[in-house]
């Protein structure tokens, strides 16, 4: 997942049908006694609501609490409509004008219909004298009720400023905010308050930070069993786990050295991993000749860049979100720098604290034993540990200097092939004799669809892709320029002129768009296949990790099938139904990124499809998902993203997901991995018997 939050295209179409409602009369709960509720002060929205009611509707400036819809006790509301470009988080900043002791804050977020809602809401506060914020709560939405409220006890805390951060589940979800009820507590109000903030001043409050994590990188606003409180605890956990795993190794009576299943019978051995059908079911065959299904883990390296978090603000000053950062001398390996600033990996710092001298080799020993015990057998995508011998897939990355088109590159550029070959040939050549290498993937989640074609049709002849389109189109209409001009609504005097003419994709017949995308796919995949086979004839080309309904098309995917040994996807879904999209092609299929998460301990899940409520439920969701995939005869393996959780404070792109088998304090999620262990033990039988 080096990337983005995904959403299903079917869901997009549903959300686009949602009606823009200006006033919806849904009930809010009865307002408490007038004497206890504060309606003083001002507030501001960021961004301005583009749904709901006036005076809040489209208002980007300061709104008086006495006049705005959030404090009026009626069903009038502020709303933020979802779209492809909508903000993932909307904010409300409230200035009470002076310090008040607060009893509680109650938020009403009533939804006009099922297309409205929110993922979670974080409520922060500060008294006037404080420079930073405190977190009052982070509430994760549960259930599907349209009428929804959240009550936050404040226990007479002193508050002048309140910030609400409300996040979407996905880009097309609409967010409602019906009412904010602030109850005064007991105690003395602030004396001689500073002046009311203007709009810029209130927006500046959004840049003020709150403490989020302790010195181990753990969420400070929640407690749980096993939460790390000392280095001694980490060291004791290592001692206990080392004893528990002391005798763990691959059982040679059941498995060959690569994890192949001996009971399924020996097949022809080539000395490298290959693919074969047995009684109508696809399998990998290990170098020793035994059937094998990938049960993989992604991003398993201790040094994985996605596990680190930025320490600096954009202005170069240090973020005030850490209770304490690891000592920069004692834990120097945990720190890195690049053009974007400084980063710290709590994973590395905690592993150093836990394992002591020679920490990496001790960690590798424990990690390999964990994975064997849990039934994993492959490093399936992205990074892997330096010295653990395990079957693996090598991810080949597209060079940064290719000619780009939106999220991908111009496959028709004659320089693309040489650039790719020059960038990748050494690592491919060096791996050609590895018996542990299963095969290669190339690029990541970057197919072609109509959006790519729409963009390149506006280019000039300096674009190889635009020229290739005209060269492709002309013979389809017998090189009859008049016919082509009539179809496209252009008046080019020659086909060379057409290459410099903007073309409206709406005028291009759908069949031509489809066939052009297929041509692009054949060009792309044949180029990569030929480069791999030129430098390494021994290993498999496993595709490009396509997201089935995002940034690709069936035309692109179908045309790839003739050039890949297996077709790989990244499918963060609930079951194996994604396979139906490809089952008519008969190609073996891999799902190299998937996981389930919950919004606990300051982290979050990736999407609604992968949401669970607790650790055990994550394991149960995995079991259902893994068995659903494995039952299909085309399925040959998958990879769980990822070994560790992402940091609570966010990686460089802001992602902060509960995706790990292990948390950033190097503690396995036992209730989940124990279910995975049971699932993995029977997965080959599920594949063999179809369920």
Cα separation, 457 vs 507, whole angstroms: 11
| pLDDT tens column, 486-522 | 999 999 999 999 999 999 999 999 999 999 999 999 9
**594: which residues sit within 8 A by CB, 6+ positions away?**
570, 571, 572, 573, 610, 625, 638, 639, 640, 641
Burial 307-343 (b: 16+ CB within 10 A, else e): bbbbbeeeeeeeeebbeebbeeeebebbbeeeeeebb
Instruction: Tell me the C-alpha distance between 352 and 602, whole Å.
Output: 23
Count of helices and strands (H, E) across the chain: 15, 29
Q: Note the pLDDT of residue 663.
A: 98
| DSSP symbols for 138-169 | EEEP-S--SS-EEEEEEEEEEEEEEEEEEE-S
* Two structure tokens written together for 41: 């002060």
**pLDDT exceeds 50 at position 31:** no
Please say whether the beta carbons of 547 and 641 come within 8 A: no
Residue 405 has pLDDT above 60, yes or no: yes
Q: Are 563 and 578 in contact (CB under 8 A)?
A: no
Query: What is the tens place of the pLDDT at every residue in 292-351?
Result: 999 999 999 999 999 999 999 989 999 999 999 999 999 999 999 999 999 999 999 999
Q: Do 94 and 65 form a contact (C-beta atoms < 8 A)?
A: yes
Dihedral sign computed on CA atoms, order 493, 495, 501, 506? positive
Check pLDDT > 80 for residue 15. no
Q: What is the DSSP string of 299-324?
A: S--TT-GGG-EE-B-TTSSBPS-BS-
pLDDT at position 691, please?
Answer: 78
Which residues, 6 or more positions from 500, have their beta carbon under 8 angstroms from its beta carbon? 460, 461
Cα-atom radius of gyration of the chain, to the nearest Å?
28
Q: How many CB atoms are closer than 10 A to CB 510?
A: 9
| Beta strand segments in 315-377, E | 335-338, 341-344
- 664: burial class by Cβ within 10 Å (0-12, 13-18, 19+)? buried
Bridge partners of 158?
101
Residues of the chain above pLDDT 90, percent: 93
**Residue pair 346/218 in contact by the 8 Å Cβ criterion:** no
H or E element: which one contains 347? helix 346-355
Residue 175 pLDDT > 90: yes
Distance CA(137)–CA(6), nearest Å, equals 26
Classify 521 as helix, strand or coil.
helix
Please state, in angstroms and rounded to a whole number, the distance separating the CA atoms of residues 560 and 101: 64
Average pLDDT, the chain: 94
| Among the ranges given (45-54, 91-100, 312-321, 565-574), the one the predictor scored with the smallest mean pLDDT | 312-321
| Centroid of chain to Cα 322 | 24
Q: Tokens at residue 176, please?
A: 């409602």
Of 613, 635, 616, the residue nearest 678 (C-alpha): 616
Residue 78 pairs in a beta bridge with 52, 177
73: three-class secondary structure by DSSP: coil
Q: Coil, helix or strand for 243?
A: helix
* Helix (H/G/I), strand (E/B), else coil: 461: coil
Ordered structural domains, the chain, with CATH: 36-206 (2.60.120.1190)
The pLDDT value recorded for residue 36 is 85
Residues 93-135 have pLDDT tens digits of: 999 999 999 999 999 999 999 999 999 999 999 999 999 999 9
**What distance in Å separates the CA atoms of residue 110 and residue 30, rounded to the nearest whole number?**
14
User: Would you say residue 32 has pLDDT above 80?
Assistant: no
Packing angle of the helix pair 615-630, 670-681 (nearest 10 deg): 20
pLDDT-above-70 percentage for the chain: 95
The pTM assigned to this predicted structure is 0.88
Q: What are phi and psi of 551, to 5 degrees?
A: 55, 35
> How far is Cα 217 from Cα 213, in angstroms, rounded to an integer?
5
Residue 207 in 3-state DSSP? helix
Tokens encoding 603: 């982290």
CA nearest neighbour of 603 among 636, 545, 646: 646
What is the pLDDT averaged over residues 242-248? 98
Mean pLDDT of 368-397: 98
Which residues in 149-179 are b (16+ Cβ under 10 Å) and which e? ebebebeebbbbbbbbbbbbbbbbbbbbbbb
Joined together, the tokens standing for residue 214 give: 């302790």
Question: Cα separation of 213 and 189, whole Å?
Answer: 31
Distance from C-alpha of 139 to C-alpha of 8, rounded to nearest angstrom: 25
Q: Does the structure show a pLDDT above 50 at 14?
A: no
Q: What is residue 1's predicted lDDT score, i.e. its pLDDT?
A: 60
- Give just the sign of the alpha carbon dihedral 303, 308, 313, 317: negative
Q: How confident is the model at residue 285 (pLDDT cuts 50, 70, 90)?
A: very high
Nearest Cα to Cα of residue 24 among 1, 47, 42, 51: 51
Q: Is 497 exposed, middle or buried (0-12, 13-18, 19+ CB in 10 A)?
A: middle
d(CA 423, CA 509): 37
Mean pLDDT of 452-459: 98
Structure tokens at 130: 């404080």
Residue 368 has pLDDT above 50, yes or no: yes
Edge-to-edge order in the sheet of strand 51-52: 51-52, 78-80, 175-177
């Amino acid at each position: 997942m080096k990337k983005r939050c995904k959403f299903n295209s079917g869901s997009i179409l549903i959300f686009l049908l949602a009606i823009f409602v200006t006033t919806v009369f849904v009930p809010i709960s009865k307002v408490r006694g007038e004497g206890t509720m504060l309606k003083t002060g001002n507030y501001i929205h960021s961004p301005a609501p583009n749904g709901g009611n006036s005076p809040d509707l489209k208002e980007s400036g300061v709104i008086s609490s006495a006049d705005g819809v959030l404090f009026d006790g009626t069903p009038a509301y502020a709303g933020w409509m979802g779209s492809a470009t909508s903000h993932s988080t909307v904010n409300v900043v409230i200035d009470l004008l002076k310090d008040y002791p607060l009893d509680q804050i109650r938020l009403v977020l009533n939804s006009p219909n099922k297309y409205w809602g929110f993922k979670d809401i974080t409520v922060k506060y500060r008294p006037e004298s404080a420079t930073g914020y405190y977190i009052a709560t982070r509430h994760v939405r549960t259930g599907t009720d349209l009428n929804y409220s959240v009550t936050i006890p404040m226990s007479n805390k002193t508050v002048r400023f309140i910030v609400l951060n409300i996040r979407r589940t996905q880009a097309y979800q609409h967010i409602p905010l019906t009412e904010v009820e602030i109850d005064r507590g007991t105690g003395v109000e602030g004396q001689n308050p500073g002046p009311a903030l203007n709009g810029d001043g209130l927006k500046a409050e959004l840049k003020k930070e709150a403490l989020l994590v302790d010195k181990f990188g753990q969420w400070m606003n929640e407690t749980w069993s096993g939460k790390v409180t000392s280095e001694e605890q980490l060291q004791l956990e290592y001692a206990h786990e080392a004893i528990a795993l002391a005798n763990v190794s691959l059982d040679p009576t059941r498995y060959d050295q690569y994890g192949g299943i001996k009971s399924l019978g020996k097949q022809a051995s080539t000395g490298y991993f290959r693919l074969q059908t047995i009684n109508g079911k696809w399998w990998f065959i290990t170098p020793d000749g035994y059937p094998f299904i990938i049960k993989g883990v992604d991003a398993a390296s201790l040094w994985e860049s996605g596990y680190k978090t930025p320490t600096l603000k954009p202005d170069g000053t240090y973020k005030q979100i850490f209770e304490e950062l690891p000592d920069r001398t004692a834990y120097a390996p945990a720190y890195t720098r690049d053009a974007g600033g400084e980063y710290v990996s709590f994973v590395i710092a905690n592993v150093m604290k836990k394992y002591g001298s020679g920490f990496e080799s001790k960690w590798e020993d424990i990690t390999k034993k964990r994975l064997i015990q849990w039934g994993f057998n492959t490093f399936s995508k992205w990074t892997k540990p330096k010295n653990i011998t395990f079957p693996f897939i090598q991810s080949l990355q597209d060079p940064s200097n290719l000619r780009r088109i939106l999220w991908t590159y111009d496959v028709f550029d004659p320089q693309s092939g040489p650039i790719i070959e020059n960038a990748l040939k050494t690592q491919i050549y060096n791996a050609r004799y590895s018996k542990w290498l299963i095969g290669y993937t190339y690029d990541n989640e970057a197919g072609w669809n109509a959006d790519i074609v729409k963009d390149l049709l506006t280019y000039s002849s300096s674009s190889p892709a635009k020229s290739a389109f005209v060269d492709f189109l002309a013979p389809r209409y017998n090189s009859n320029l008049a016919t082509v001009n009539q179809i496209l609504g252009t008046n080019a005097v020659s086909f060379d002129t057409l290459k410099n003419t903007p073309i409206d994709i709406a005028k291009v017949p759908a069949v031509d768009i489809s066939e052009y995308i297929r041509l692009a796919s054949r060009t792309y995949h044949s180029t990569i296949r030929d480069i791999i086979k030129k430098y390494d004839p021994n290993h498999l080309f496993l595709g490009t990790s396509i997201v089935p309904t995002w940034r690709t098309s069936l035309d692109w995917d179908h045309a790839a099938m003739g050039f890949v040994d297996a077709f790989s996807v990244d499918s963060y879904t609930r079951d194996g139904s994604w396979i139906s999209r490809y089952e008519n092609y008969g190609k073996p299929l891999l799902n190299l990124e998937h996981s389930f998460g919950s919004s606990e301990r300051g982290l979050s899940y990736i999407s609604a499809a992968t949401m669970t409520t607790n650790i055990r439920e994550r394991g149960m969701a995995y079991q259902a998902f893994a068995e659903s995939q494995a039952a299909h005869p085309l399925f040959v393996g998958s990879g769980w993203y990822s070994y560790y959780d992402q940091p609570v404070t966010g990686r460089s792109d802001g992602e902060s997901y509960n995706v790990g088998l292990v948390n950033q304090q190097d503690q396995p999620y036992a209730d989940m991995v124990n279910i995975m262990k049971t699932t993995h033990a029977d997965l080959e039988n599920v594949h063999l018997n179809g369920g």
